[in-house]
């Protein structure tokens, strides 16, 4: 049967209350052909995540409702492979509660690292496009470092960035610093002519979205996009949960994005992604949508990304175009249209300026 995870919010919840609810769930589950396995509890946020096996989401919900009148905020299906990568496959469970390796209650929160690597080349023709799409040596070295710091590499089907998940925030940060040090040491050498950026964020397995750790992965990718070259940028939540003192790091090396900036970047990217192919997309339309004047938007986006809003839009378009060219059977004109360019020649010019290679060489 499918595996599901649901999400509840119980402010001030106690472990005893969660255990009692789990007992009543198990007493009711057979009636609906459901099996409640275990749960993760975050007492600070009042969040509870239940792992359930059942024929469908509705049956899982009915068990909760009949057992103790609780209704989940959301329930999603989870692939077993992803579940093991994110949550671990050697769980310690007592009366349904999951504990981490230190014997503490596992909150279910995990730490996501997104590493974006692009070849830095000015060649008009590239002899090995596989290396252009994703440099082999830096990728392999990054994965080794992820493993050294007890991270798990997650298959990324949407783009070329490396995704990794960590149980401990300090391990995620140490891993990022080790990658930064190694990449800076070798940049410019053979097989290391690259640009890279790193995003770090925290997150819970289920939110109101429809995917497993979906919100955290999206935000981690956006952090890696807004980072400047060779920079680590982390969420405010990640910083709060990390033991490192960040004052010793220069902002060009490590930067923190606060929650207000997160909201602005989220609104900016959401609107841009929803209107890539429409005439509505402009700095003026984004200003109106967000509720800022153009000068205000310019100052805030510039302070966060180091780029003007117009250049940031261009970079978002080019990264989308890169992924479309790599993963889809589309010609240059089709890709140009999908990212809002009516003139394929102009699109090719902008793409070449960004990535150092003509898009027709990759298609």
With tokens 């596989």, the residue in question is 130
pLDDT of residue 122: 57
pLDDT of residue 59: 96
Strands 97-99 and 162-166: unpaired
pLDDT of residue 156: 83
| Alpha carbon separation from 329 to 131, 324, 326, 343 (Å, rounded) | 20, 8, 8, 19
Range 3-99 has CATH code 3.30.70.3090: yes
Residue 164 β-bridge partners: 113, 153
pLDDT digits (tens, 9 = 90+) for 82-99: 999 999 888 899 888 999
Can you read off the two tokens belonging to residue 65?
């409702």
Domain coordinates in residue numbering, the chain: 3-99, 109-257, 259-363
**Fold identical between 3-99 and 109-257?**
yes
pLDDT of residue 124: 47
- In SS3 terms, 220-285 reads as HHHHHHHCCCCCEEEEHHHHHHCCCCHHHCCCCCEEEECHHHHHHHHHHHHHHHHCCCCCCCCHHH
DSSP 193-216: -EEEEEEEEEE-S--SSSSTTHHH
Is the separation of the CB atoms in 198 and 180 below 8 Å?
Answer: yes
Is the separation of the CB atoms in 256 and 236 below 8 Å?
Answer: yes
For residue 144, give every residue at least 6 positions away whose Cβ sits within 8 Å of its Cβ, in sequence order, or none.
none
Choose which CATH entry (3.30.70.1230, 3.30.1540.10, 3.30.300.30, 3.20.20.150) describes domain 109-257: 3.30.70.1230
pLDDT digits (tens, 9 = 90+) for 121-144: 655 445 555 556 668 899 999 999
Q: Which of 278, 270, 254, 259 is nearest to 337 (CA)?
A: 278
Inter-helix orientation angle 214-226/259-274, to 10°: 90
Read off the pTM: 0.90
Question: What 3-state DSSP class applies to 176?
Answer: helix
Q: How far apart are CA 148 and CA 141, in angstroms?
A: 11
pLDDT of residue 362: 78
pLDDT of residue 123: 52
pLDDT of residue 133: 61
pLDDT < 70 regions, the chain:
121-134, 247, 327-328
pLDDT of residue 325: 84
Helix (H) or strand (E) holding 348: helix 344-355
Residue 99 β-bridge partners: 92, 105
pLDDT of residue 121: 65
* Burial per residue of 21-60, b for 16 or more beta-carbon CB atoms within 10 angstroms, e otherwise: bbebbbebbeebebbbbbbbbbeeeebbbbbbebebbebb
pLDDT of residue 250: 80
pLDDT of residue 218: 95
Range 259-363 has CATH code 1.10.10.60: yes
Can you read off the two tokens belonging to residue 215?
């919100």
């Amino acid at each position: 049967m499918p595996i599901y995870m649901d999400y509840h919010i119980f402010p001030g919840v106690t472990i005893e209350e969660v255990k009692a609810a789990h007992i009543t769930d198990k007493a009711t589950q057979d009636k609906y052909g459901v099996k409640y396995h275990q749960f993760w509890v975050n007492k600070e946020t009042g969040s509870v995540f239940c792992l359930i096996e059942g024929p469908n989401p509705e049956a899982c919900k009915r068990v909760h409702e009949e057992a103790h009148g609780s209704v989940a905020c959301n329930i999603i299906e989870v692939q077993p492979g992803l579940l093991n990568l994110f949550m671990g496959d050697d769980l310690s469970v007592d009366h349904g509660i999951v504990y981490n390796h230190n014997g503490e209650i596992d909150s279910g929160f995990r730490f996501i690292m997104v590493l974006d690597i692009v070849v830095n080349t000015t060649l008009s023709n590239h002899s090995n496009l596989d290396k252009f799409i994703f440099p082999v040596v830096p990728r392999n070295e990054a994965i080794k470092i992820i493993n050294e710091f007890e991270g798990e590499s997650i298959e990324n089907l949407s783009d070329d960035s490396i995704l990794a998940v960590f149980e401990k925030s300090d391990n995620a940060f140490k891993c990022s610093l080790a990658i930064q040090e190694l990449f800076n040491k070798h940049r410019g050498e053979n097989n290391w002519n690259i640009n890279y950026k790193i995003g770090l964020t925290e997150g819970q397995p289920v939110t109101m979205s429809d995917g497993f750790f979906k919100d955290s992965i999206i935000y981690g990718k956006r952090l890696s996009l807004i980072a400047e070259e060779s920079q680590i940028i982390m969420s405010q939540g990640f910083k709060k949960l990390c033991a490192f003192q960040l004052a010793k790091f220069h902002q060009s090396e490590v930067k923190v994005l606060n929650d207000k900036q997160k909201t602005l970047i989220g609104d900016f990217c959401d609107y841009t992604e929803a209107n890539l192919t429409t005439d509505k997309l402009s700095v003026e339309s984004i200003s109106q949508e967000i509720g800022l004047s153009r000068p205000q938007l310019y100052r805030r986006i510039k302070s966060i990304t180091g780029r003007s809003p117009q250049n940031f839009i261009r970079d978002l378009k080019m990264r989308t175009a890169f992924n479309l060219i790599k993963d889809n059977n589309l010609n240059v004109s089709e890709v140009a249209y999908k990212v809002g360019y009516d003139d394929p020649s102009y699109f090719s010019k902008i793409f070449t300026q960004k990535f150092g290679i003509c898009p027709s060489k990759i298609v």
